[in-house]
Structure 1
Amino acid sequence: MHSDTIDKARVLVESLPYIKEFFGKTIVIKYGGSLMVDDAMKQQFAQDVVLLKYVGINPIIVHGGGKDITKWLNRIGKETVFIDGLRVTDSETMEVTEMVLSGKINSDIVTLINEAGGKAVGLSGKDGHLFQAKRLDHHPDKDIGLVGTITQINDDILTLLATEDYIPVVASIARGQGRESLNINADNVASEVAIKVGAHKLVYLTDVDGILIDNAIQGFFNYADAKALLNHEQIAGGMRPKLQYALNALEQGVHRVHILNGMVEHAVLLELFMDNGIGTCLSRDNR
């Protein structure tokens, strides 16, 4: 018998205890906009999600789409301005943002998952009163516009879908006061959703290998050590708020948070089902 056939069997056996542990549990996956550039990788992501569902895990997908938003704003000659990593969002920018996130990216992800054999349902935070939000008072002296933070989540619709045969795919748009739409950081949305639905795990798929110290990937941190990282000079850029959202999830009941490179083939499966994952795991405890 060919050795590669035996190796495949060993992989299945190695994954068995993890499948048993996660059976019936919910996992929230944040799928970053920077990953939506390669058709083959997008298909592999969809396959991973469908496999999770078929082995009894309930995935909920939360997505952003910053690069596509910038691309479409450029097409209409609209300048993109960021303050501390937050996109300044006037009414025109918000209209484009909602169009891209809900109308294009969400639809694309749903289609890919359905083509892979799943039953994905696309949502934005405005559907079914899923998210309520308020404007983010980030800079009293600088108006960042229609950028919000979540104040309330109606998780009934997510729980209903996720615990049946469906895979919710959620765009990071919320309703603010009146009829205004608000742009919400997708990392924030994923953390809040994971907390509200009582997720076992929160997975951040990014375009880096995980948390790096001296250019070396760090495989595991317990909560105390992860919190200490906030004071580390090498935790900068987008990783700092991502780490804060991860810690918030751990503090409020999520068992583990994983940060990994979504450009690795079948990254989700490798991280969740193999003895040696490929990214950084943050845990509430020491294991």
Structure 2
Amino acid sequence: MSEQRLELLREALPYIQRFKNKTFVIKMSGKATEDHANLLSLAEELALLHQVGIRICVVHGGGKQLTELAERLGVEQTIINGRRVTDDATLEVAKMVFAGKINTEILAALRHRGVEAVGLSGVDGNIVHAERRPPKEIINQETGERERIDFGHVGDVVGINDRLLRVLLDHDYLPVISSLGADSEGRIFNINADTIAAEVAVRLQAEKLILLSDVDGLYLRPQDPSTKLSRLTVEEAEALLRDGIATGGMIPKLQSIIDLLRRGVRSAHIIHGLTRNALLAEVFTDRGTGTMIVA
């Protein structure tokens, strides 16, 4: 074993001690789970975190896989301003893909690494209590027209019931939650996975919310690697919004993270879901790999 590797172990020790028995909520995008080799690699990193006593809860979406299966089944998809309209047929496909295919594949990858994971959707144990999103007036970015859009079976989170999650975490299970929820009538909704992950993190008063994204952090100028923000406080993040420095897709991301940290989560991280060891580096090294926003 090289000297460098041993030094890395030493560097990791204070973090291992600090995070033992703390809760991390980790959100996996569809892109992170779609490539089998990448999923196995991520499962290994999750297993390591789990092994050193960190309580892990995974939340996943799978928009890309939903779109692909819908195409194969001939179910037409409508996406407006990056948001999917979930009609009856799309909801059927979403149930298959989220609570079925992707969830089971994540469980199998974790099983391969000896982790006792439990697959859930937000409907299990009433974890995600949701209500139907009302039709909204929006400006369609493609046409520039003002439109009233009914997103169909898309839900907004009303509350999180963490009782089942706590039972599992207290007994060393690793819950894996897909992005469905239901209302008290039992109507099922497709819900944004980032939103579920954020609300679960707040409810569990998590140490960290880690978003495995298709970018490796936040950039002041999207195409310029030298403008990556490695570490921010809530106040600095608010200043970026206030002074108009944050633009485009960065604005809603920052807004939701600021809200999350104000509600008790200790830190939020945006890291690349397709980079080997990005998760371990973010948790166990001083430098990290992505953007960390701290309360």
TM range (shorter): over 0.9
Relative to structure 2, which stretch is displaced further, 61-70 or 154-163? 154-163
- Whether contact under 8 Å (1:229, 1:235) holds in the other structure is no
Q: Distance in 1 between matches of 2:276 and 2:210?
A: 16
Relative to structure 2, which stretch is displaced further, 17-26 or 243-252? 243-252
The amino acid across from 2:112 in the alignment is E
The amino acid across from 1:34 in the alignment is K
Give the C-alpha shift of residue 245 in structure 1. 2.3
Q: Distance in 2 between matches of 1:250 and 1:210?
A: 17
- Whether contact under 8 Å (2:33, 2:106) holds in the other structure is no
Q: 1:246 aligns with which of 254, 257, 263?
A: 257
* SS of equivalent to 2:114: coil
Corresponding residue of 1:135 = 132
Give the C-alpha shift of residue 234 in structure 1. 5.0
Distance 1:49-1:229 versus aligned 2 partners, 3 A rule: same
Residues 43-122 of structure 1 aligned to structure 2 (within 5 Å): 43-122=40-119
- Whether contact under 8 Å (1:97, 1:183) holds in the other structure is yes
**Matching of residue 257 in structure 1 with residue 268 in structure 2:** yes
* SS of equivalent to 1:121: strand
Corresponding residue of 2:141 = none
The total of aligned residue pairs comes to: 280
Q: Superposition RMSD on alpha carbons, in Å?
A: 1.4
Corresponding residue of 1:144 = 151
The amino acid across from 2:166 in the alignment is T
TM-score of the two chains, using structure 2 as the length reference: 0.91
Gaps of 5+ in 2: 138-147
Corresponding residue of 1:189 = 196
The amino acid across from 1:35 in the alignment is A
Corresponding residue of 2:292 = 281
Q: Distance in 1 between matches of 2:115 and 2:210?
A: 19
Corresponding residue of 1:164 = 171
Gaps of 5+ in 1: none
Q: Distance in 2 between matches of 1:240 and 1:42?
A: 29
TM-score of the two chains, using structure 1 as the length reference: 0.94
Give the C-alpha shift of residue 230 in structure 1. 3.4
Relative to structure 2, which stretch is displaced further, 176-185 or 88-97? 176-185
Q: 1:222 aligns with which of 233, 246, 249?
A: 233
- Whether contact under 8 Å (1:135, 1:146) holds in the other structure is yes
